[in-house]
Amino acid sequence: MAGEGGADRLDLGAPVVDGADDEELEGEEAGCTLIAVTIPDTAARDRLDKALAQLVPEAAGLTRSRLQALIGEGRVALDQPGGQTIDDASYRVKPGQVFQIAVPAPEPAVPVAQDIPLTIVFEDDDLLVIDKPAGMVVHPAAGNPDGTLVNALLFHCGERLSGIGGVRRPGIVHRLDKDTSGLMVVAKTDRAHAGLSAQFADRTLSRTYHAVVWGSPATGEGEIEGNIGRHPTDRKRMAVVSKGGKPALTRWRTLARYGLLAAHVECKLATGRTHQIRVHMAQIGHPLVGDPLYGKARPTGALGARLKEATPDAQAQLLGFRRQALHAKDIAFRHPASGDMVAFTSDLPADLAGLIFSLE
């Protein structure tokens, strides 16, 4: 740890977090560098961004504007047990406070085309609809430089991908978590990208997800509304927050109940925030089965007792499910070139279908 008013640079080889709007956070901080900064008396009541810019070693190459961006991304936290993430650059610092800055590894170079199999549900000159498998990262990031959907798309489409998303995310209009399976639409032209983005913005593009959750919701359907932002003390997670964050609305209904142990639910997104369904379902007490961030590896209390009463196969499936039980099943939108409404659906993948079968 640095002395008063100094900073230490610590290179961590291991990922800090696994994990932007929409569903995905994976790989943001793999191999990141942590910089610890102690606030001296002379910086009392300074803005956080100003204080850090003055105290971080020049060798770190962090300008005040870069630090503001890191703060806004939730990469600066108080270095203490349960330390709070500070995402406001105007936060007033106090002498003796120690802040940890998580500086991500350099972004990978322009993605390379890789011959990776794709399940293409639909394709024309303007767009593709892809059925993404669980385990595939959408675009390269620190910790996931290749083997992503973007690498596969570059091989399949060549240069026929929209450039609006930038060199690292060509064609990408929206995203899914690495371990969420299901349908994504990809733009091959800038016109398609702009048209699809507009439908996401005005909420006329429809997305429906299927999930298996712990417990049995008391009602058959409902809405979950609450701003989603970084968790105040655990930046690996998102949370429903009382201040800041972005508005989020999820509509859900129960498709099947498996006693009081679990339920098969359908979720429709009115917004697309990071981990939205996972955060919202956990917020109402029904986290997704297999979710490593927002659920428990093994339920306790009354739910744990019900688990013991389930069949051995159901117990094994529930406890052995190694990803969040979430699938993007349906997507519908107005085709940005023809103007026609189009809709696509995806069957549940084998692992999720097997989980449901064991519960039935």
Looking at the chain, which runs of residues are DSSP E strands?
A: 7-11, 33-38, 76-78, 98-103, 120-123, 127-132, 181-187, 206-214, 221-225, 228-230, 238-240, 249-258, 262-269, 326-334, 341-345
Cα 189 from Cα 119, distance rounded (Å): 20
Token code pair at residue 124? 């024309």
Choose among 203, 209, 198: nearest CA to 173: 198
**Is 177 designated active site?**
yes
Selection from 309, 316, 272 nearest residue 290 by Cα? 316
Paired sense of beta strands 181-187 and 127-132, if any: antiparallel
For residues 323 and 338, what is the distance between their CA atoms, to the nearest angstrom?
Answer: 37
Integer CA distances (angstroms), 114 to 107, 145, 152, 162, in order? 18, 12, 5, 18
Regarding beta strands 181-187 and 326-334, do their DSSP bridges make them parallel or antiparallel, or are they unpaired?
parallel
Angle (CA) 296 268 197, round 5°: 115
The one catalytic residue in 177, 179, 291, 330 is 177
The neighbour count for residue 191, using CB atoms within 10 Å, is: 15
How far apart, in Å, are the Cα atoms of 122 and each of 111, 128, 260, 344? 24, 6, 39, 8
Residue type, 128: L
Active site residues: 177
